Structure 1
Amino acid sequence: MRILLTGSSGWLGRFLAPRLRAAGHRVTGLDVAPGADTDIVGSVADRATVDRAFADHGIEAVIHGGALHKPDIVLYPAQAFVDVNVTGTLNLLEAAVAAGNDRFVFTSTTSLMISASIRAGKGGGAREAAWLTEEMAPLLPRNIYGVTKLSAEHLCRLHHLEHGLNIVVLRTGRFFPEDDDMAHEIAENGPNTKANEFLNRRLTVEDAADAHVAALDRAPTLGFETFIVAAPTPFLRSDCAALIADAPSVVARYFPEAEALYAARGWTFPAHIDRVYAAEKAERLLGFRCRTDFAAILAALADGAPLPFAHDPAYLSPGANRATPMSRGLL
C-alpha cells in the first residue's frame, strides 16, 4: 500500500517509516524538515503541497503523525498550532476522501484529556486519581496543543460520518525523548521522571510506532475508533484513592523490589499520582499491547542494563534550530 506519512523526520516518524516498509508498504514521507525518511519537504498546512503529494505518489492511505507538540508550546505561537494541527489535518482528510482512500490513522494525544482540575491533583483537593478511558467527557484541554488536537479529532469524526472514511485516532501517552517543557514545576526530571511515567502515562517510541502499524491494518474493520495508547498500568481502579494519598505505598505493594532499585540510583517516586491512562480498549479492539512496561524498567535496573526508553534533553523537533516559525516552513 502507498502510505503518506506526515512527520516523517520527527521522533515517531524515524521509527515508524522503517516498520511500514518492513510490512511491505511504500512510504512517502512529508515533513517541514529534511530527514532520511522524508521525500517531500513542506507543511501539511499548505494544501497545494498535500495535493501534490497525493497526485505524484498515488497515495492510498495516510498516517498523520505530523504536528506541533506539547514541548513546542515554548517555541511557537498559538496560530502556528491552529495552522498545522487543525488546518493541516483538514487538508489531509479532504485529500484522502478525494483520492478514495479507505483508511486514515491520526496521531492524537492523551494531553487533551487533562483539565486544569485533574492536573492539580491532591493540591487541588482531589480525593483520588483520575482513571482515564476513551469514554471520558467532557474534554477540557488546558493548553493550545490539546485544544488543536481535540479539534482535529472532531474533524476526523466528521469525515467518517460524512464520507465513510475509516479512521483510527490514537491518543498516545508521552514518548518524546526531551525533558518536559514544564520541568521547572516538578521536583525530579530526566530518566527518573520518565521511568515513573511508565506507571500511568508513558510508552516507548517503538511501541508507539507499532501501534500505528496495527491501527493501519485494522482501520477498515473498525470504522471510527479512538484508542488510548500507553504502557499497561499495574494499577487497578480501586487504587485511585491511595494513589492520590500515598503513591509510593501503592507502587511498593505491586513491586516490593522497586524501592531498593530506585534508591541505588538516587531516584524517587512521586508522592502523588493524579491520573492513570487505561489502555485496555486498544488491547481488546485493536489487538495491541505495549511491550515495555514499568516491570521492564525495574528489570533493567536490576540487571544493570540500559534503560528501555530514550532520554535526550538536547533533542529538538525538526526545524527547531531555525530562528522563527515562519522560517521553519510552518506558516
Structure 2
Amino acid sequence: MRVLLTGSSGWLGRFLAPMLRGAGHHVTGLDVAPGTDTQVLGSVADRALVERVFADHGIEAVIHAGGLHKPDIVRYPAQTFVDVNVAGTLNLLECAKAAGHDRFVFTSTTSLMISQAIRDEASDAAVWLDETSGPIEPRNIYGVTKLAAEGLCRIAALEHGLATIVLRTSRFFPEDDDTHAVPSGENLKANELLHRRLTVEDAARAHLAALERAPAVGHSVFVISAPTPFGREDCAELKRDAAAVIARSFPEAASLYAARGWTLPASIGRVYDAGLAERVLGFRCATDFAAVLAALRDGGPLPFAHDPAYVSPKERGGDGPVLA
C-alpha cells in the first residue's frame, strides 16, 4: 500500500518508516522537520497541503504518528495543540474518507488516561489501567487534544465506515524523564518496563500490526505497553511493597540490580494492561523486564534506547516551527 506516515522525522517515525518499507509498503513521510524518511515538509494543520499530499502521492492508508507531545506544553500555546492534534487529525480523516480508504491508524497515548488523582498516587493500591478504565480525565492540554482526536477517529468509523485503530502507547521516549529525578536514566526506564513502558521498536511493530488488522477489527482502542508480570490481585501489594511482588517473578532481580548500582521501585502506582492488543491484534511486545535482567546477567547491551541528549527534530535550531 501507499502509506502516508505523519511524524516521519520523529523518534517513532525513524523506526516505523523502514519497517513499513520492509513489509512491502511505499511510504510517504510528512513532517515539519526534515529527515531521512520525510518527503513532504509541512504540518497536518495545513488542510491544503494534506489534500495535495493525498492527490500527488496516491495515498491508500494513513498512520498518523505526528503531533505535539507533553514536553511541548512549555513551548507552544494551547491553541497550537488544538490546531495540530485535533484539527490536523480531522484533516487527515476527512481526506482519507474522501479517498475511499479502508484503514487509519492513530498514535495516541496512555497519558490521557492519567487523571490528577492517578498522577498523585494517593490511592492505597496501584491503579490497573486498560481500555475499560475511566472516567477519562486528562490533566493537561496534551491529553485533552489526544482524547479529542480519538473521538474524531471513532466518529469517522461510525459515520463513514473507516476502520480506525487507536494505539494508546505507553512511554518509549529516549531522553530522561522531566518529572522523575530518582532513579533516573536507564534505571528508571528498566523499572518502567514492568508496568508503563515499551521499546520504540515494539511501538513501531504495533503500528504495523494495526495497519494490517484494521479492516478486520473496525474501530478499536488498544493500550500498547510491554507485557506486565503483575495481575490485578497484586495491586495493593504493589503500592505497599513492590520489591516483594517483583521478587516472586524475578528472584534474581535484586542482586542483578545491586551489582549495577540500581534500585528497584519501592512502590508502583499504576500498571498498564496490554492484553487486549494481544487478543485482538495478535500483537505482543517482544521486549519486557525479563530482557533487562538477561542483559544485566549476561553483560550485554540493554534492550532499550537511552539518550539524555535527544532533542526532537522539530525543536532543533532554535524555537522550532509555529505548527508541528
When normalised by structure 2's length, the TM-score is 0.98
Q: Percent identity?
A: 70
DSSP-derived class of the 1:260 partner:
helix
From 165, 169, 173, give the equivalent of 1:168. Answer: 165
Match in the other structure for 2:18: 18
1:118 equivalent to 2:118? Answer yes
Q: Does structure 2 retain, via aligned residues, the 8 Å contact 1:71–1:180?
A: no
Match in the other structure for 2:49: 49
Q: Which runs of no fewer than 5 residues in structure 2 stay unpaired? A: none
From 152, 155, 158, give the equivalent of 2:155. Answer: 158
Q: Does structure 2 retain, via aligned residues, the 8 Å contact 1:74–1:181?
A: no
1:190 equivalent to 2:197? Answer no
Q: Mapping of 1:99-248 within 5 angstroms?
A: 99-121=99-121, 124=122, 126-183=123-180, 186-248=181-243
Q: Distance in 1 between matches of 2:204 and 2:235?
A: 30
Match in the other structure for 1:263: 258
Q: Distance in 1 between matches of 2:176 and 2:70?
A: 11
Deviation by residue 1:206-265 (Cα, 9 ceiling, x = unmatched)? 000000000000000011011000000000110000011111111111111000111111
Matched AA of 2:87: T
Q: Distance in 2 between matches of 1:229 and 1:244?
A: 22
Q: Which runs of no fewer than 5 residues in structure 1 stay unpaired? A: none
Give the deviation of 1:323 after TM superposition.
3.0
Q: Does structure 2 retain, via aligned residues, the 8 Å contact 1:247–1:273?
A: yes
Q: Distance in 1 between matches of 2:309 and 2:142?
A: 21
1:249 equivalent to 2:244? Answer yes
More deviation in 72-81 or 145-154?
Answer: 72-81
Q: Distance in 2 between matches of 1:189 and 1:76?
A: 26
Give the deviation of 1:182 after TM superposition.
1.6
Match in the other structure for 2:281: 286
**How much is the aligned-residue C-alpha RMSD, in angstroms?**
1.1
Matched AA of 2:256: L
DSSP-derived class of the 1:11 partner:
coil
Q: Distance in 2 between matches of 1:41 and 1:81?
A: 19
Q: Does structure 2 retain, via aligned residues, the 8 Å contact 1:4–1:28?
A: yes
Give the deviation of 1:3 after TM superposition.
0.3
Give the deviation of 1:75 after TM superposition.
2.6
Paired residues, what number?
324
Give the deviation of 1:187 after TM superposition.
1.9
Match in the other structure for 2:323: 330
Match in the other structure for 1:37: 37
Give the deviation of 1:329 after TM superposition.
4.3
Q: Does structure 2 retain, via aligned residues, the 8 Å contact 1:70–1:181?
A: no
Matched AA of 1:141: P
Q: Distance in 2 between matches of 1:72 and 1:300?
A: 33
Give the deviation of 1:269 after TM superposition.
1.6
DSSP-derived class of the 1:306 partner:
coil
Matched AA of 2:270: R
Give the deviation of 1:48 after TM superposition.
1.0
Deviation by residue 1:159-206 (Cα, 9 ceiling, x = unmatched)? 1111110010000010010112223xx421110000000000100000
